[in-house]
């Protein structure tokens, strides 16, 4: 073989070797479009090369492009649609996704990362996903109550004495209060409400967004991040984030008519809801929801103890001043005509979600909502023998006989002040998205506001203030209808978010936010606040009214790195600067590792966080002024931290809370249809803001907000789902989820002597220690049967005035809900729900703290005295003043007709 032949042979050998290597490592580009059954383009669909971390999402037109190895399998997944797999023999692959029962395990989530969306199996954070179907299966009327029976770490409480709180109940994640859960709509911050909770109930001293006003029919799904997220989203996300994703389908509409009644025959409810969507031209869509509802009063008053009433009021009013007189009244009216239950509520809600493509790479999007609510709730009934303190009797207030009787004591049966609250809440977002050269840009502006106005009727002002001619302005000349004012809050938020997948391992995200907030307290009419003010709900005084605002600027950087397809790390850092209290820098680091053929996942995160004091907490002041001889003007109520009185008392200005969050979890899907996760969390909050107890000062008995102490909350979240198991001619699925509180306590001394046993219980022990939800769903032919059991664990409380040697303990209860869906036709579905079918109601008992407490419990007279003290002589016998975590109304039956078109 000559030299030339030898060289050619080597050359051919090298070429063949290189071609073989190229073949072994050959890659190809796959592209196409993803649409749904109606032919509508689907953006945000997750397209993944199976067995790798190589993934892209479809763009605004449903288009995708991905480079994969030869012979690769592509997996297409999207929330609410069946996951599909395809081989890649062709370079063009168009896919039609069908709605199905695909588990949330594979759903793409957009919450918790500022880089690129991930599936629920690859996210580094604990996220619950609740679909529209799951929300409606609860049979609950409002969104917050539906979450209460789907997410164990989510709690909402109702209070026995409502006033303004009747407009929206306080809620929370992981027992951290409403102020520490951030609410998003389509990823954008929802405005806070104007209401500051001041009732003696969970959430006291805090505020939150009105999520009860969001119509369930407008929701596609809810993503609940159970982890601190201040680095990603800013203030208020210490406990977690609740992201409400709105519907955008255009191929189907529905009308829902829902009616219901309690097992006692009251609380009648009627609701009508319309959801519809349509394409707008060839490049846009709109989906809208109209919702109207009315719920009548449901009353569950307690039976009044006559001995307790005589001890409190006997002898205070001429004409009815003996035990026999009081007994005679209570014989006729055993509940003393008190109204205690769920108030009468009417609501109208509108929400729209839409968008349109400007080009193949750009889109405008928008959403807007408006909610109107009106609520009537009631103060304690003013019986004929009611005392007014200070020796004042009915003889001193004869005009009451004319206001609420025919001028004679015999005709006067008392009266009940009625609170009328009206709420207007709105939010709107307009945004622009583009995808160019792999860069995802999202610029938006969001506005939102909440306005509440109050009225009081069947009340009076008993002050003896006179005009220049010596004529009483009030008392016998008092009006019986008052407008005590109200409050409003609004914000404007600008966001710019940019992200890019740099490679199959690295993605980044960065952006900025600017936000302005305004808080307004409206002055009430003079008669509502002058002197003693309107009985039961005094108005806002001029010196306590005003308008305040602030702004903040923030920016963040997010980096996600997949070391391998099994090992991922995500880091975020954020800086915010507030105009009123200064700057904060927070960070977060999270990671996830999958092993054993992707059947086991371990994940964890550590982060710092902060929560800015709300404008409500900084500026709210509610006070009543009176003149005391020798002591001057006295104040009784709440003073704010910027007042002259606060400076004299040495009360410092409010600063931000700071937090440290640690979460460690494990998840597994050992079987095809079985998956579970267990997550441990530990949240430390430094300088926690509280509304302290009232303290006697040189200015009177006052309370104030302050950064008081540090707290630690830790626990476990458990989620387990077993998918479709064949049972006869149908399929059955099971789910079990739970929240276990391991620790929830104060870990540092209080700043002032204004933190008593009642407030301690409100913050740390008045929520269920454990909460479990066990559900089953059975589908057979045209029927769908659901069963849910919610276990509310023990709570303990120290009511104000309760003997220090005792506490009250609410007994654990299981609430059972049943539901039946019947598909009468392809378009008509009939749903019957029996919520709390076993008629379980809150129940409590006294527990002794020590031997002295045991001695009290062994004395029936002392037990009766303590019972009367914390239930107002039996008026609130079911839950005292603590508030309750499930309805005191007992069984609720509801019937729904759903017509699709």
Statement: residue 100 has pLDDT above 80: no
Q: What is the mean pLDDT of residues 511-534?
A: 96
Whether residue 48 is contained in a domain is answered as: yes
Length of the chain, in residues: 901
Q: What is the mean pLDDT of residues 27-32?
A: 84
pLDDT of residue 202: 79
Q: Is 674 helix (H, G, I), strand (E, B) or coil?
A: strand
Q: Is 843 helix (H, G, I), strand (E, B) or coil?
A: coil
pLDDT of residue 389: 57
Whether residue 35 is contained in a domain is answered as: yes
| C-alpha torsion 3→9→13→18, nearest 10 | 70
Statement: residue 309 has pLDDT above 90: no
Look at the block and give the residue holding tokens 């800086």: 575
Q: What is the mean pLDDT of residues 610-625?
A: 88
- CA nearest neighbour of 180 among 495, 737, 704, 617: 617
What's the chain's average pLDDT?
87
pLDDT bin (cut points 50, 70, 90) of residue 503 is confident
pLDDT bin (cut points 50, 70, 90) of residue 119 is very low
Whether residue 458 is contained in a domain is answered as: no
pLDDT of residue 152: 94
pLDDT bin (cut points 50, 70, 90) of residue 311 is confident
pLDDT of residue 881: 62
204 to 172, 199, 518, 538, 760: CA distances (angstroms): 12, 6, 22, 19, 11
Q: What is the mean pLDDT of residues 267-274?
A: 96
Q: What is the pLDDT of residues 661-699, one digit of tens each?
A: 999 999 988 888 888 899 999 999 999 999 998 888 877
- CA nearest neighbour of 245 among 225, 226, 220: 220
User: For residues 285 and 144, what is the distance between their CA atoms, to the nearest angstrom?
Assistant: 28
Whether residue 697 is contained in a domain is answered as: no
pLDDT of residue 773: 96
Residues spanned by the domain of 67: 3-100
- CA nearest neighbour of 455 among 354, 399, 377: 377
Q: What is the pLDDT of residues 208-253, one digit of tens each?
A: 999 999 999 999 999 999 999 999 999 999 999 999 999 988 888 9
Whether residue 317 is contained in a domain is answered as: no
Statement: residue 883 has pLDDT above 80: no
As given in the structure block, the two tokens for residue 157 are: 């409480």
pLDDT of residue 14: 42
pLDDT of residue 260: 96
Whether residue 77 is contained in a domain is answered as: yes
Statement: residue 160 has pLDDT above 80: no
User: For residues 894 and 136, what is the distance between their CA atoms, to the nearest angstrom?
Assistant: 12
Are the beta carbons of 769 and 793 closer than 8 angstroms?
yes
Whether residue 20 is contained in a domain is answered as: yes
pLDDT bin (cut points 50, 70, 90) of residue 527 is very high
Q: What is the mean pLDDT of residues 75-97?
A: 84
- CA nearest neighbour of 871 among 203, 325, 310, 380: 380
- Provide the CATH number for the domain around residue 31: 2.60.40.1120
Q: Which residues contact 226 (CB under 8 A, 6 or more apart)?
A: 125, 126, 127, 128, 153, 173, 174, 240, 663, 679, 681, 717
HEC string for 801-819: CCCCCEEEEECCEEEEEEE
User: For residues 312 and 872, what is the distance between their CA atoms, to the nearest angstrom?
Assistant: 10
pLDDT bin (cut points 50, 70, 90) of residue 42 is confident
pLDDT of residue 515: 98
Beta strands in 226-379 (DSSP E): 240-246, 254-262, 269-280, 284-295, 298-299, 341-342, 344-357, 362-378
DSSP structure class, residue 291: E
pLDDT of residue 633: 45
pLDDT of residue 393: 64
Whether residue 61 is contained in a domain is answered as: yes
Exposure string for 57-78, b = 16+ CB within 10 A, e = fewer? bbbbbbbbebebeeebebbbbb
What is the number of domains present in the chain? Answer: 1
Lowest average pLDDT, out of 242-246, 596-600, 786-790, goes to: 596-600
Q: Counting runs of H as helices and runs of E as strands, what totals does the chain give?
A: 13, 47
């Amino acid at each position: 073989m000559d030299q030339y032949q030898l060289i050619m042979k080597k050359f051919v050998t090298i070429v063949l070797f290189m071609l073989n290597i190229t073949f072994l490592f050959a890659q190809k580009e796959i592209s196409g479009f993803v649409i749904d059954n109606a032919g509508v383009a689907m953006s945000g669909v997750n397209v993944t090369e199976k067995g790798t971390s190589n993934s892209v999402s479809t763009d605004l037109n449903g288009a995708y492009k991905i480079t994969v190895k030869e012979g690769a399998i592509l997996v297409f997944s999207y929330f609410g649609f069946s996951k599909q797999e395809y081989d890649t023999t062709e370079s063009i692959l168009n896919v039609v996704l069908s709605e199905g029962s695909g588990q949330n395990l594979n759903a793409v989530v957009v919450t918790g990362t500022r880089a690129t969306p991930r599936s629920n199996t690859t996210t580094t954070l604990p996220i619950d996903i609740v679909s529209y179907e799951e929300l409606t299966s609860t049979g609950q009327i409002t969104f917050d109550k539906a979450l209460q029976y789907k997410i164990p770490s989510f709690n909402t409480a109702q209070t026995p004495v409502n006033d303004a709180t009747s407009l929206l109940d306080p809620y929370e994640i992981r027992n951290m209060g409403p102020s520490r859960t951030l609410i998003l709509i389509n990823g954008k911050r929802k405005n806070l409400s104007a209401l500051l909770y001041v009732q003696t109930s969970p959430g006291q001293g805090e505020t939150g967004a009105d999520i009860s006003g969001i119509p369930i029919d407008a929701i596609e799904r809810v993503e609940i991040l159970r982890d601190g997220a201040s680095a990603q989203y800013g203030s208020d996300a210490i406990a977690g984030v609740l992201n409400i994703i709105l519907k955008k389908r255009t191929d189907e509409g529905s009308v829902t008519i829902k009616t219901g009644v309690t097992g006692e025959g009251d609380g009648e409810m009627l609701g009508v809801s319309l959801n519809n969507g349509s394409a707008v031209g060839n490049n846009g869509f709109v989906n809208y929801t109209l919702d109207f509802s009315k719920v009548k009063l449901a009353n569950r008053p307690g039976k009044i103890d006559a001995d307790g009433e005589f001890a409190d009021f006997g002898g205070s009013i001429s004409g009815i001043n003996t035990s026999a007189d009081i007994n005679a009244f209570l014989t006729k009216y055993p509940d003393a005509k008190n109204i205690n239950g769920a108030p009468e509520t009417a609501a109208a809600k509108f929400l729209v979600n839409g968008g349109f493509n400007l080009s193949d790479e750009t889109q405008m999007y928008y959403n807007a909502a408006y909610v109107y609510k009106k609520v009537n709730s009631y103060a304690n009934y003013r019986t004929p023998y009611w005392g007014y303190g200070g020796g004042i009797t009915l003889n001193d207030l004869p005009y009451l006989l004319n206001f609420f009787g025919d001028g004679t004591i015999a005709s006067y049966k008392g009266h009940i002040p009625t609170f009328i609250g009206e709420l207007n809440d709105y939010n709107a977002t307009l945004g622009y998205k583009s995808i160019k050269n792999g860069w995802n840009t999202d610029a938006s502006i969001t506005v939102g506001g909440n306005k509440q106005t109050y009225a009081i009727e069947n009340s009076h002002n008993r002050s003896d203030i006179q005009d220049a001619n010596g004529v009483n302005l009030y008392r016998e000349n008092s009006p019986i209808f008052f407008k005590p004012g109200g409050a409003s809050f609004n914000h404007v938020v600008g966001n710019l978010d940019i992200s890019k997948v740099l490679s199959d391992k690295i993605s980044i995200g960065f952006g900025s936010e600017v936000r302005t907030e305004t808080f307004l307290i409206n002055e009430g009419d003079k008669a509502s606040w002058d002197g003693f003010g309107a009985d039961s709900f005094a108005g806002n005084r001029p010196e306590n009214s005003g308008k305040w605002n602030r702004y903040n600027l923030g920016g963040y950087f997010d980096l996600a790195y997949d070391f391998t397809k099994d090992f991922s790390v995500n880091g975020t850092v954020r800086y915010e600067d507030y105009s009123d209290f200064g700057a904060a820098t927070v960070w977060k680091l999270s990671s996830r590792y999958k092993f054993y053929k992707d059947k086991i996942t371990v994940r964890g995160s550590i982060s710092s966080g902060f929560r800015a004091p709300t404008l409500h907490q900084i500026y709210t002041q509610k006070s009543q002024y009176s003149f005391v001889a020798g002591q001057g003007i006295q104040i009784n109520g709440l003073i704010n931290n910027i007042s002259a009185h606060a400076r004299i008392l040495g009360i410092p200005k409010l600063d931000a809370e700071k937090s440290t969050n640690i979460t460690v979890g494990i998840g597994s899907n050992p079987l095809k249809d079985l998956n579970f996760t267990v997550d441990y969390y530990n949240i430390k909050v430094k300088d926690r803001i509280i509304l302290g107890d009232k303290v006697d000062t040189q200015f009177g008995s006052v309370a104030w907000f302050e950064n008081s102490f540090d707290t630690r909350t830790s626990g476990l979240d458990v989620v387990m789902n077993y998918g479709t198991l064949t049972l006869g001619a149908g399929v059955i699925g099971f789910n079990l989820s739970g929240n276990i509180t391991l620790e929830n306590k104060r870990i540092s001394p209080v700043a002032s002597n204004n933190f008593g046993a009642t407030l301690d219980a409100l913050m740390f022990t008045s929520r269920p220690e454990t909460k479990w939800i066990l559900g089953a769903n059975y589908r057979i032919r045209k029927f769908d049967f659901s069963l849910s059991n919610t276990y509310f664990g023990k709570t303990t409380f120290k009511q104000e005035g309760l003997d220090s040697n005792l506490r009250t303990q609410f007994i654990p209860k299981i609430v059972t809900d049943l539901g039946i869906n019947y598909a009468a036709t392809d378009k008509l579905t009939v749903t019957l729900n029996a919520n709390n079918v076993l008629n379980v109601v809150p129940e409590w008992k006294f527990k002794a703290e020590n031997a002295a407490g045991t001695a009290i419990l062994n004395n029936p007279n002392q037990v009766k005295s303590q019972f009367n003290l914390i239930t107002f002589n039996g008026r609130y016998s079911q839950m005292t003043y603590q508030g309750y975590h499930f309805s005191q109304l007992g069984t609720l039956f509801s019937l729904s007709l759903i017509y699709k078109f």
